[in-house]
A and B are shown apart, each in its own frame.
Chain A
Amino acid sequence: EAGVAQSPRYKIIEKRQSVAFWCNPISGHATLYWYQQILGQGPKLLIQFQNNGVVDDSQLPKDRFSAERLKGVDSTLKIQPAKLEDSAVYLCASSLDGFGTLVSGYTFGSGTRLTVV
């Protein structure tokens, strides 16, 4: 099966600019996650969607970050305006289950490496 697709692969922007990332999950996966991974750290969950509804966005800095998942498939994550500390890899993941029943593992995309200068 095709994996989780993300674009762009790399992005360099200046602080205070805006940026958007795109994710296409595995077909049929109802749950989609956006993670932020700062260099040398583990991924941190930013937002979780179940179909096109938000399940958890408690760690999303809502003053500058926004995300949507239209039609319950593709998702975009936007940062506006960007800060230096937003430099990280932004990982998208999807899973068949979202609520702890069958273990299918969370499949991650290759990520978008964002550098804010």
Chain B
Amino acid sequence: GQNIDQPTEMTATEGAIVQINCTYQTSGFNGLFWYQQHAGEAPTFLSYNVLDGLEEKGRFSSFLSRSKGYSYLLLKELQMKDSASYLCAVRDGATNKLIFGTGTLLAVQP
């Protein structure tokens, strides 16, 4: 079966660091994506991991452990504009479908 789990909501303080976790179970694996989605807007691509390890892009980093079926998105130096939903998505290796989790709604507080 296919299952992707993320926390529903998180709250963090401006300037702080927050880690959003994602665990997955799919019949095959061909990469994991993180997307950011502001309310009423389209998801925008943040990062892609296909090999184990950490990928860093400015204030955003994403980590993958394929053996554990686990990823996290790390946001540093949080800004108010980072308040959004963060979607973890796995590309199923058998079907190449992109399967999304329900998303984590992050609220950044002053």
Contact = CB atoms under 8 A, between A and B. Distances in A.
Interface of A: 4, 33, 35, 40-45, 48, 55-56, 91, 98-100, 103, 105-111, 113
B105 to A, nearest CB: 9
Q: Is the interface of A mostly helix, strand, loop or mixed?
A: loop
B43 A91 contact: yes
Interface stretch (B13-21, B58-66, B74-82, B93-101): B93-101
With most chain B CB atoms within 10 A of its CB, the pick from A42, A56, A98, A103 is: A42
Interface residues of B, number: 26
Interface string B11-43: 000000000000000000011010100001111
Contact of B102 (A42, A56, A108): A42
A56 B92 CA distance: 13
A56 B95 contact: yes
B48 interface: yes
Given A109-B42, A110-B41, A100 B98 contact: no
Given A42-B103, A45-B98, A103 B50 contact: yes
Contacts of B109: none
